[in-house]
Amino acid sequence: MAEILLLSVPVFGHVKPMLAISRELVRRGHRVRWLAGAAFRERVEATGASFCAFVEGFDYSCQELVPDHLQADRDRLRGLAKLRFDLATFFVGPCEGFCRDLLRLHEETPADLLVCDSFLMAGAWWAERTGRPWAQLCCTVLTLPSRALAPFGLALQPDDSWRGRIRNRMLRSLTRSVLFRSLRRRADQARQALELPSLRPWLFDVVSPHLVLSGTVRSFEYSRPDCPPQVVFTGPLLENSDEAFIPPTWWGDLDNATVVHVTQGTISNDPAQLLRPTLDALADEPVLVVACTGRSDEGLEALDPLPANARVASYIPYGALLPKTSLVVTNGGFQGVQAVLSHGIPMVTAGESEDKPEVCARLQRTGASIDLATATPEPAAIRAAVRRVLDEPSFSSAATALAREAAEAGGAVGAVDAIESVLGR
Rounded Cα distance, 206 and 369, in Å: 31
Contacts of residue 236, defined as CB under 8 A and 6 or more positions apart, other chains included, come to: 215, 216, 338, 339, 341, 342, 406, 411
More confident residue, 70 or 51: 51
Which run of H or E residues covers position 261? Answer: strand 259-263
Does residue 1 register a pLDDT over 60? yes
**pTM reported for the whole predicted model:** 0.89
pLDDT above 70 covers what percent of the chain?
96
Rounded Cα distance, 274 and 374, in Å: 10
Does residue 352 register a pLDDT over 60? yes
CA 26 from centre of chain:
23
Confidence of residue 83 (pLDDT cuts 50, 70, 90): confident
378-396 tens-digit pLDDT: 999 999 999 999 999 999 9
Q: Which residues of 293-305 are buried (b: 16+ CB within 10 A; e: fewer)?
A: bbbeeebbeebee
Q: Residues of CATH 3.40.50.2000 domain(s) within the chain?
A: 3-235+410-424, 251-407
The CATH homologous superfamily to which domain 3-235+410-424 belongs is: Glycogen Phosphorylase B; (3.40.50.2000)
Rounded Cα distance, 37 and 12, in Å: 9
Distances (CA, A) of 162 to 68, 146, 169, 205: 48, 13, 11, 22
DSSP per-residue string spanning 33-54: EEEE-GGGHHHHHHTTPEEEE-
Given a contact cutoff of 8 angstroms between Cβ atoms, the answer to whether 119 and 14 are in contact is yes
Query: Given this model, what pLDDT does residue 367 score?
Result: 94
Does residue 193 register a pLDDT over 70? yes
Contacts of residue 380, defined as CB under 8 A and 6 or more positions apart, other chains included, come to: 281
203-259 tens-digit pLDDT: 888 999 999 999 999 999 999 999 999 999 999 998 766 667 888 898 999 998 999
Query: Strand, coil or helix: what is 266?
Result: coil
Query: Given this model, what pLDDT does residue 73 score?
Result: 80
Segment 130-140 mean pLDDT: 94
Rounded Cα distance, 2 and 155, in Å: 39
Does residue 298 register a pLDDT over 60? no
Q: pLDDT averaged over the chain? A: 90
Does residue 269 register a pLDDT over 70? no
Query: Given this model, what pLDDT does residue 278 score?
Result: 92
Architecture of domain 251-407: 3-Layer(aba) Sandwich (3.40)
- Give me the amino acid identity at 380: A
41-68 tens-digit pLDDT: 999 999 999 999 999 999 898 888 888 8
19-38 tens-digit pLDDT: 999 999 999 999 999 999 99
Distances (CA, A) of 235 to 143, 301, 376, 380: 16, 37, 30, 34
Confidence of residue 300 (pLDDT cuts 50, 70, 90): low
Query: Given this model, what pLDDT does residue 61 score?
Result: 85
